[in-house]
Chains A and B, each alone.
Chain A
């Protein structure tokens, strides 16, 4: 459980520029949650990967960014959702180096490693929702 949640700021993802906006929004929230520079960079990079996945594979969607607090630590929570085709083989999609597009095949698996919590909810034809949390140390 992620604990108390602050107000979520929502950014639609419909173009490459929106991926940049998501990145900027996540960075602003991460700075406000007092994440270290390394953790800021990690969560921003993870958000960049997932936002691009939402755009390229999910056909666009949205990102909701909020601060979370579990009583001991503060953190950033980002929820990406799209109503695209969903992921048919999750294990394969999370394999390093596998890509159904033209990328390096590290985005999804790398984003999972960059964050502290990673929840993925998908069904074929029903879209994909990914929630990630990065805690301040």
Chain B
């Protein structure tokens, strides 16, 4: 909803003339639903900054939020939404801070004395403030999405460690869901660890994977094949009874890949194979 030029001018004038009263009321009303999680002073600083930018935008003749004059106002709104999202406020609590301006304005506009024209102005301003509120909603949602993506990435980093278990044996304990993104990270990490440590054995432990379906199996098989191409032998461990039965019924074949019930079994297997290989090498020498 675009403001008419004179409406925008009148709102700017009102904001300038009654600045103090509006600022005070706005800060109070905005802080009320936040129940002390943000003090009146903090909330007041934010609303005062908004008020200043709003006044400036209106003085420049801004008619709606898309116009170039509101660039700074939009930046302030985005910053406010982002901050609130990080502090754990809800989207409604954030937008309410903007909508509080309506109540503050209502207190300084005398609709009864001003008659129809004052009412028309007030409705137009309300629609403009709605626009500001919706903008914070969107900015808030974007900020939240950004936070979630960040956390997902952090989790991806966290949840795929490659550990050296023994001389020549590295292991990846998989925990949780193995989707394509994680499978890719696991494969990269494992292959890099094989090169870095010069290990001939790798153990992939799936104890922490609740359901082994064809997608998980396919990712594990690909990782094993890639490790083999680099000359390493892979052992899959952590196959519990229910997983074993499910894999058989599903029809997944692990072929000649060594599989063990526990990580301890897998480690023993790897050490024995390593020792046998060392003896064979000694005899040849």
Chain A: residues with CB nearer than 8 A to chain B? 16, 20, 23, 27, 37-38, 40-42, 44-45, 48-49, 52, 96, 103-104, 106-107, 109-111, 113-114
- Is the Cβ of A49 less than 8 Å from the Cβ of B249? no
- Is the Cβ of A41 less than 8 Å from the Cβ of B211? yes
**Least CB distance, B127 to chain A, in whole angstroms:** 34
- Is the Cβ of B243 less than 8 Å from the Cβ of A106? no
Closest residue of chain A to B212 (Cβ to Cβ) is: A45
- Is the Cβ of B241 less than 8 Å from the Cβ of A38? yes
Chain B: residues with CB nearer than 8 A to chain A? 177, 179-180, 210-215, 217-218, 241-243, 245-246, 249-252
**Least CB distance, B156 to chain A, in whole angstroms:** 13
- Is the Cβ of A106 less than 8 Å from the Cβ of B215? no
Cβ-neighbour of B249 out of A16, A48, A52, A113 (below 8 A) = A113
Given A20-B177, A109-B251, A114-B250, residue A104 in contact with residue B241 (CB < 8 A): no
**Least CB distance, B236 to chain A, in whole angstroms:** 16
Q: A41-B243, A110-B249 are in contact. List 20 more A-B contacts (CB 8 A).
A: A16-B180, A37-B242, A38-B245, A40-B242, A41-B211, A41-B245, A45-B211, A45-B212, A49-B214, A103-B214, A103-B215, A103-B218, A104-B217, A106-B214, A106-B251, A107-B213, A107-B214, A110-B214, A111-B250, A114-B250
In the complex, chain A residues whose CB is within 8 Å of the CB of B252: 104, 106, 110
Cα separation A66 to B34 with both chains bound (whole Å) = 40
**Least CB distance, A73 to chain B, in whole angstroms:** 19
Sample (17) of A-B pairs whose CB atoms are under 8 Å apart: A16-B179, A27-B210, A38-B245, A41-B242, A42-B246, A44-B210, A45-B211, A45-B250, A49-B213, A104-B217, A104-B218, A104-B252, A110-B214, A110-B251, A113-B250, A114-B246, A114-B249
Given A38-B241, A40-B242, residue A45 in contact with residue B251 (CB < 8 A): no
In the complex, chain A residues whose CB is within 8 Å of the CB of B213: 45, 48-49, 52, 107
Given A16-B179, A38-B245, A106-B252, residue A44 in contact with residue B214 (CB < 8 A): no
- Is the Cβ of B242 less than 8 Å from the Cβ of A106? no
